[in-house]
Amino acid sequence: MKRMAVVLAAGQGKRMKSKLYKVLHPVCGKPMVGHVLDTVKATGCQRTVVVVGHGAEKVKAYVGQDAEYVLQETQLGTGHAVKQAKDLLGGEAGTTVVICGDTPLVTAETLEGLMALHEGQKAAATVLTAVMEQPAGYGRIIRGDDGGVQKIVEQKDCTPEEAAVNEINTGTYCFDNAKLFAALEKVTNSNNQQEYYLTDVIGILRAQGDIVLGYQAHDAAESIGVNDRLALSEAENLMRQRINREHMLNGVTIIDPASTYIAADVVIGADTTLYPGTVLKGKTVIGEDCLIGPSSEIEDSVIMNGAEVKHSVLNQAQVGARTSVGPFAYLRPGAVLGEEVKIGDFVEIKNASIGDGSKVSHLSYVGDATVGKNVNVGCGAITVNYDGYNKSRTEIGDDAFIGSNVNLVAPVTVGKGAFVVAGSTITRSVSENDLAIARVRQENKPGYAEKIRTRAKAKKDQSSPS
């Protein structure tokens, strides 16, 4: 049976009080609509239509080619929103799931269970429900004697008996596609809000004798729809717990889950340990047997097996196997470290590759450079890569030794096995196995320090008031 999805993403979200359109607000590093689309995709939907309205171009720019689009120019209710997809989906046969773009916590397992029940029972509609201890504000699910959904009653319209029901409507549905669009033609806006409600379809289908079912979510948290910053924070917290739990069940040690942030798309190998304060963002991939943290922030980076990152910031960097980074290192975009490299404290690497076994142990900057294997870069050494107009590269061969406080003024090459003496400013290339020294010859002036102190004291005494 063909599966389709309609994702409702037209609302502005005024209660968010934000310039960013509601469904684009991130939860664990991914816009809410992105979570929903991932869930829909995981259930095998062959066509997905996103209903856009406010911020349509920005929503489409984020989603890209992963969906088809229809525009709801004026927001006249959920039924009106779904009806905009008629030209695209109205002629299809199969199952259509309707889900809101601000419900990031709905899981693929729950959505698959909903669709499986719907298809197995040949229902016209199946409502995703949840049980809440405090259901105030939610539409109630009223079931008939046969256990099917008889109607959905909004909070303001509930009788005392209906208000006591704690099974609520989550706003996610499955429909027989043909019956959905046929019923939408019968929906009216004869209500106080003068809107076309998708919930009215349930009553229409039930009245004409169709099967309408309810599928209860195992976790009521999945029903959260994000309408303000408080709900966004709650969704973020619940999603973070879910992500951390999944990684721990997959063999990752998280010392303090409450202080560890892992974005939705991060991949982590087994037997890796995350220490408190770790922040993993974007599409970061971490291998097995790594030690990450404490207090490290890593974004869109790849870290290979057995590497260690302590108290450091990495952005679009690659770290080889068994390499150590930090404490207090900064790997900027384009930093590529080989295997068994050591990057120590207060070292910054930018757009540079560091070969296997090389060391940049402390207080150095290596930018726009290629550093070979088994190179030692001493304390305070830097590549001078920018002349105010252009960036230039530095090339350092295998087994070279760069002394402390060396300035390598690019473009410049230091050959294989070369030795650059501490304190040198190198402006010309150094050949293989040569020693380079570029500093003014030291001159000692006997007793001159005492003369300076005497002169300074006399000047101070002359300027003091008598």
315 annotated to a ligand binding site: no
- Please check whether the domain covering 251-436 is classified as CATH 3.30.950.10: no
398 annotated to a ligand binding site: no
Residue spans of alpha helices (H) in 92-189: 108-120, 160-163, 177-184
272 three-class SS:
coil
Cβ count within 10 A of residue 455 = 10
CA torsion, ordered 324, 325, 331, 336, to nearest 10 deg: -10
- So what's the pLDDT on residue 35? 97
389 annotated to a ligand binding site: no
Return the CATH fold of 3-223.
Spore Coat Polysaccharide Biosynthesis Protein SpsA; Chain A (3.90.550)
- So what's the pLDDT on residue 288? 98
88 annotated to a ligand binding site: no
**Active-site residue 362, yes or no?**
yes
156 annotated to a ligand binding site: no
What are the structural domain ranges in the chain? 3-223, 251-436
- So what's the pLDDT on residue 357? 98
- Average pLDDT per run of 10 along the chain, which is 466 residues long? 96 91 96 97 97 94 96 94 97 97 97 97 97 90 92 88 94 97 95 88 94 95 94 97 98 98 98 98 98 98 98 98 98 98 98 98 98 98 94 98 98 98 97 95 91 90 76
- So what's the pLDDT on residue 461? 85
Name 311's Cβ contacts closer than 8 Å, sequence gap at least 6: 293, 294, 295, 296, 326, 327, 328
Interatomic CA distance for residues 350 and 337, integer angstroms: 11
Cβ count within 10 A of residue 208 = 12
8 annotated to a ligand binding site: yes
407 annotated to a ligand binding site: no
Interatomic CA distance for residues 152 and 41, integer angstroms: 28
